[in-house]
Structure formats: structure tokens, C-alpha cells
Amino acid sequence: MSDLEKILALAPSTLDRFRLDGKVALVVGGTKGLGQAMALALAAAGADVCVASRGPAGLEETAKAIQSLGRRGAFFAADVTDEAQVEAMVHYMLDTFGRIDILVNSQGVVHLQPIEEFDTAAWERVMDVNVKSVFLCCKHVARVMLKQGKGKIINISSVRAFQGRLHDAAYAPSKGAVNQLTHSMAIEWGPRGINVNALAPVFTRTAMSAPVLDDPKTMDWVLSRIAMKRIGELDDLFGPIVFLASEASNFVNGHVLVVDGGWLAT
């Protein structure tokens, strides 16, 4: 069979590679904002999805929204900075679904304060939520995926992982750590069947970003930095998250996919 014949035989499967039918996804931080949007995108692409957060707000609501798309939807309340609760969450996933094919780490908090006055407890909280919890969730979910011989892990980073910021001693450094954690895991687990990648969005209107974006001067500055002259919308993440979770990205590993409208290019 010639190369052309091989490609021609495979080409009709192109769109099917983006389907997630039969897959099970765990979205941590999936009860609002970016995480909720990505959970629903995964469900719309065919995956059964469990969302997890400290709860209770948004948990049942998001699970019901997943079910409305014709998929199995579940939720689990956990503080994922606590290793015992992460282990309990993984056990719940196995008891409920029998497997975990996709892990999305979308949990995150931010604290801004002049660095010489930066509250140490706040710094520790940002690092715990944004870095420690990602490590713990990846560690315990990867054990399941390694036994399965396959899995997709997507960590949610930020354009701030590439840039410093005024009054930001914690969030930007924490997202930089997420990028490097993603790289290290990709190197270690890639040969064993797990793809580990990250998504790095720009300013997107969510409950966390609204107070900043509602300031006209700040919004003007943000738009001046984005080549497409608009902020991110939640549905801008639909395609990227499904791509990284699907068979379409089987040879993408250790990559940070920037979804920023040209922020870093400007």
C-alpha cells in the first residue's frame, strides 16, 4: 500500500478522532467558570463527566447540566489540597464509572497585594490550590491511567505563567509551576500511554475575573494587549479542551496550548 493509499484510508476518520464517546472525564474545579464550560464541552463531545470541587455550590447544578446533554453526570465534593480527599475522589470515580480516561485540573485562586506586604498565608493558599492540588490529582489519577495503559491529563495554566505582574507574588509563579509540572509529567508518563498537556487562557469573563474586567481602564489595557481586540469567551475553550482530551491529540505531549487571542504575540 502506498503512502497516499494509507492516508486516504485514514482520512475519513478525522472528525471521529475528536469524539469522546465511551470516555470518562474528571473535571476538578468544574462547577463554575472555565471548568464548568470545559466539563460541558467534554460531555457534548460524548464523555461521561464527574465534576469536583469543595462544593456544595454548583456541583449538583453542573452534574444535571451534563445529564441534560445525554451523558452520565456526577459530582464529588472534595478539598483537593488534602491528599486523603483526593484518594477518596479517585475511589469514587472507579466505583461509579470504573475508569478515568480524562483529567482536567481547572482549580485556581488568585491574590494580588504589594509584594513587600504580601500575606504569607494567602501566598500559601494560592500555591496549595494552584500547584499542590494539581500535583496530587495528577499523582493519584495517573496511577489509574497507568494501569489502563492510556489517559489524557490537561492542566489549566494561564498566560501569566509566561509573564510577571504587579502585586503578583503567587498566581503567576504558581502557573509557571503548573507548566513545568506538566512538562515533567509528560516526560515521565508519555512513554507509558499518558498525554499530559496544559491550556493557558487569557483574560476570560468569569466570576473571578469580573471585578478586574469591570474597571474601564483595566479593560482598555487588556484589550490593547490582545491582538483580536476582545477578551476570551468561555466557548473559546470548547475546541482546545476537546482536542487535548481526544484521540486527535495522541502525539501532542508536554505542550502548553495558549488560547489568548494573540496576547503573547503582542
CB–CB of 181/155 below 8 Å?
yes
The full length of the chain comes to 266
Task: List, as one string, the DSSP characters of 25-57.
Answer: EEEETTTSHHHHHHHHHHHHTT-EEEEEES-ST
Identify the burial level of 11 via C-beta atoms within 10 angstroms of its C-beta, where 0-12 means exposed, 13-18 middle and 19 or more buried: exposed
DSSP letter for 131, please.
I
Contact 181, 133 (CB under 8 A): no
> Annotated catalytic, 92?
no
Catalytic residue among 76, 97, 123, 171: 171
Rounded distance between C-alpha atoms, residue 266 and residue 264, angstroms:
6
**Which residues, including other chains, have CB under 8 Å from residue 261's CB and lie 6 or more apart?**
202, 226, 227, 228, 230, 231, 232
Q: Half-sphere exposure of residue 235, counting CA atoms within 13 Å on the CB side?
A: 1
Catalytic residues: 171
